Amino acid sequence: MSKYWSDRVHRLTPYLPGEQPKLPGLVKLNTNENPYSPSPKVLEALRGELGAGLRLYPDPNSERLKTTIAELFGLAGDQVFVGNGSDEVLAHAFQALLKHDRPLLFPDITYSFYPVYCGLYDIDYRTVALDDDMAIRVEDYRPPNGGIVLANPNAPTGRLLDLAAIERLLANNLDAAVVIDEAYVDFGGESAAPLVRRYPNLLVIQTLSKSRSLAGLRVGYALGQAHLIEALERIKGSFNSYPLDRLAAAGAVAALLDRDYFEHTRQQVMATREWLREALQQRGFRVIPSAANFLFARHPDHDAAELARFLRERHIIVRHFRLPRIDQFLRITVGQDEECRALVRALDQL
Amino acid sequence: MSKYWSDRVHRLTPYLPGEQPKLPGLVKLNTNENPYSPSPKVLEALRGELGAGLRLYPDPNSERLKTTIAELFGLAGDQVFVGNGSDEVLAHAFQALLKHDRPLLFPDITYSFYPVYCGLYDIDYRTVALDDDMAIRVEDYRPPNGGIVLANPNAPTGRLLDLAAIERLLANNLDAAVVIDEAYVDFGGESAAPLVRRYPNLLVIQTLSKSRSLAGLRVGYALGQAHLIEALERIKGSFNSYPLDRLAAAGAVAALLDRDYFEHTRQQVMATREWLREALQQRGFRVIPSAANFLFARHPDHDAAELARFLRERHIIVRHFRLPRIDQFLRITVGQDEECRALVRALDQL
C-alpha cells in the first residue's frame, strides 16, 4: 500500500502463474509446455538474427510475421494482430473489445487470467457455469452481453467445443465480440479461423507457446476482421510500439513455416495423451475428455492437494487449483513418454 | 470504427514510431539507435540460450536480470522492475503511479508517447512549457499535482538537468510520484538512481535500447523504493506474466555485465556527437546542448521539413516532428563517424 498508487493498483488481484522451479531432474508437468524442443529451423533462424542488427528497433508492425500467419490461415495481413505472448494479445482484446456497459460472459471454470484482466480494465463480468460434465453449453451464452470469451479447448478442463457449436455462439451473439482463445487447439481441436471471414464478431487468439514449443519466446496472435484488428492495433500503438523483439519475430516465422515438425510433434503429444489417459483411468482416475496437451483428472479416493504433494515429493510437479468445483482435480501436462511413465510409476506407489 | 470497439478505443490517438525502412545503404539517423553492435558477450549469451529450453516459459520474475540490475545500482532486488522495453515500463508506471485526481505534469516538448499513455489510461495532464532555451525549469513543477514525468536528458531536445535540480524537484513534490525517464542518460548525464534510497517518490526508468545497443531486444527497467515497484508488479501480474522472453533476459544480463564495452561505445558516441555538433554549428545550425545520442538543431535559412526531404533524397534519414515550437528543428541521431561525415557532406551540397 502506498499513497503513490493509483486507485486501480489498490484493487488488483494479479494472476498467479504456475511455478518455474529450476531443479535438475524434475518431471515438470505443471505449465502445459510442449515436451519437445522447438523445430531445428527455429533455432537456425534465431542464430541468423544474432548480430549487429540487434542494435536496431524491430519492425513495429512485424510485417513478415503477420504475412506468414495470414498466409497460413488464408487471411489478409490486416486480419492479423501479433503480440508478446497470447496473454498480451488477450489483455489488449479485453481492453479493446470486451469492455462495454453490458457484462462480459465467460465460464465459471476457465483460464483464471480472464477475471484478472477484468480487474485491470474495470470490466463488469458474469460467469456462466459449466455443466456437470465440465462442458460449456453455448446456449447459456445469450444477449444482452458486452462480449464473450471462451477457451477452446477449455482450460483447465481440456474439453472441446466443435465448430458447429462455436458457429451457433457467434450467430446468437452478433452484437458482441466473441473471443475464442485457442491456445490448445492444435492438440485435437478444429480452429474457428475459417469463420473469421463470415463473422464480424469473431476474434480467434492463438499462441506459439504450446504446439510450437516456444513458451520461452513469447509470441501470440489474433485473427479477425480488419475492424477488430484495428481496435487491437490502436491499443498496442498507445502502449508499446515494439512488443515483439527481433528474435521472437524471426523464430516465430520459422516455427510457423515448419509444418512437418509441427505435425510430427503434435501427433506425438496426442498419442502420449491417450496413453496417459488410459493409464490414469486404469488406476481409478476420472479423466475429463481432453483435446489439449494436458489432462484434468480426479481420483475418488485421494485428495487432490495430497496427491500433488505426494507427486512433488517424488520430483513430479502437476498443477492443483484451490478453486470451487475443481479443487479435487489435478491438471497434468502431457510430457514426453518417459515423463508420463514416471508419473504413472509414482502413482503405482500410492 | 466498429460497434465492437470499447469507448476507450474510439478516443485513442496512438504513438507514431520513427520509420524503420529496410533500404540497403541508408544512413539511418532517425530513431536514436546506437551505431555500434551489441557487445560480443551479448551475442555469446544469446547463442547459449538457443536450444530446447525455449520450449519452457521464462522465469516470470526475471530474477537473474533483476539481481544483475540491483547489483549494478547498489539496490535491493525488490527495488527493480523489468519490462518489454522502457515503453512498456513507462506504460505500467502511468497506469500504476501517475493516474490520480490531480493532473499529471510533463513538459510541453518531450517524448511524445507521454500524452498517448494519458489517452490510454484516461489520465488528466497539464504540460509545462520549456523555457526559451528549450530547458526544463524544475521550479515550474509544483504541487498540487498527481505526478510528474520528465525525460532526462529530455527528448527530442537532448538537454540535461543536473542531479541537484532533480533533487529539488523530488523534495518539492513529495506527495506525488516523480518518474525520471533516463533513456539517454548514459551519453553524458548523471543518473538519479542514487537518490532512490532517499526519495520515496522517485521512479527512475532506463532502457537497454540506447547505450547498450539492444533496441532489437526490448528490455527496459525501473528503479524505485519497494512500494513503487510493487505497484508496477501488480499491474504487470494482471497484464502479462512473462513480458521478457528467455533470450531478452539472457542478453540483457550479458549487456549489463560488460562494463568495458559499454564504457567504450558510449565514449565513442559522445566524441562523435561533439564532432557533429561543431560541424553543424560551423554550417550555421543552432544546436541545443545535448547530453544524449542525438542532436536537436535548426538552421536559420532552411525550413526543417525541406531539409529533411533534401537529406532523404540523399538516403539520409533524420527525424522531423510537425509539432508546435519544434517544427523548425531536426533530431539527428549520432551515427558512426562515417555516417556523420556523410550527413555533413550532404549538408555542404545545400
| CA–CA dist B121, B90 (Å, integer) | 12
Tell me how long chain A is. Answer: 350
Q: What is the mean pLDDT of residues A128-141?
A: 97
Which domains are delineated in chain B?
Answer: 15-35+260-348 (3.90.1150.10), 40-257 (3.40.640.10)
pLDDT at A187: 98
Over residues A42-90, the pLDDT tens digits come to 999 999 999 999 999 999 999 999 999 999 999 999 999 999 999 999 9
Which amino acid makes up residue B41? K
From the list A292, A241, A40, the residue with the least C-alpha distance to B91 is A241
- The yes-or-no verdict on residue A337 having pLDDT over 80 is yes
The span from the CA of B243 to the CA of B222, in Å, is 14
pLDDT of residue B1: 82
Does A5 sit within 8 Å of B215, measured CB to CB?
Answer: no
**Residue A22 pLDDT greater than 80, yes or no:** no
Interatomic CA distance for residues B284 and B42, integer angstroms = 41
CA pair distance B315, B246, nearest whole angstrom: 36
Query: pLDDT value at position B115?
Result: 97
Whether residue A291 contacts residue A187, with contact meaning beta carbons closer than 8 Å, is answered with yes
> How much is the pLDDT for B24?
82
Per-residue pLDDT of chain B (350 residues; tens, 9 = 90+): 899 999 999 999 889 888 888 778 899 999 999 999 999 999 999 999 999 999 999 999 999 999 999 999 999 999 999 999 999 999 999 999 999 999 999 999 999 999 999 999 999 999 999 999 999 999 999 999 999 999 999 999 999 999 999 999 999 999 999 999 999 999 999 999 999 999 999 999 999 999 999 999 999 999 999 999 999 999 999 999 999 999 999 999 999 999 999 999 999 999 999 999 999 999 999 999 999 999 999 999 999 999 999 999 999 999 999 999 999 999 999 999 999 999 999 999 98
What are the Cα distances from residue B169, in Å, to A83, A244, A245, B157, B197?
37, 35, 35, 20, 16
Phi-psi map region of A241: left, alpha, beta (phi>0 left; psi -120 to 50 alpha):
alpha
pLDDT at position A6 is 97
DSSP state of B103: P
Say yes or no for a CB contact (<8 Å) between B238 and A213: no
Instruction: Specify the DSSP element, H or E, that contains B222.
Output: strand B220-224
What are the CA-CA distances from residue A125 to residues A103, A107, A116, A238 (Å)? 4, 10, 11, 25
A4 at interface of B, judged by CB pairs closer than 8 A: yes
Residue in B with minimal Cα distance to A213 = B55
Express as a percent the part of chain A with pLDDT over 70: 100
- What is the structure's pLDDT at A20? 81
pLDDT at position B21: 83
Under a CB-based contact definition with an 8 Å cutoff, are residues A333 and A345 in contact?
A: no
To the question of pTM greater than 0.95 for the whole model, the response is yes
Interface pTM (ipTM) of the complex?
Answer: 0.97
Q: How far is B224 from chain A (nearest CA, A)?
A: 12
| pLDDT given at position A18 | 82
CB contact under 8 A, A238 and B7: no
Question: Between A4, A9, A100, which is nearest B6 by CB?
Answer: A100
Contacts of A99 in chain B (CB under 8 A): 6-8
Mutate to test the interface with B, among A57, A196, A214 (most CBs of B within 10 A): A57
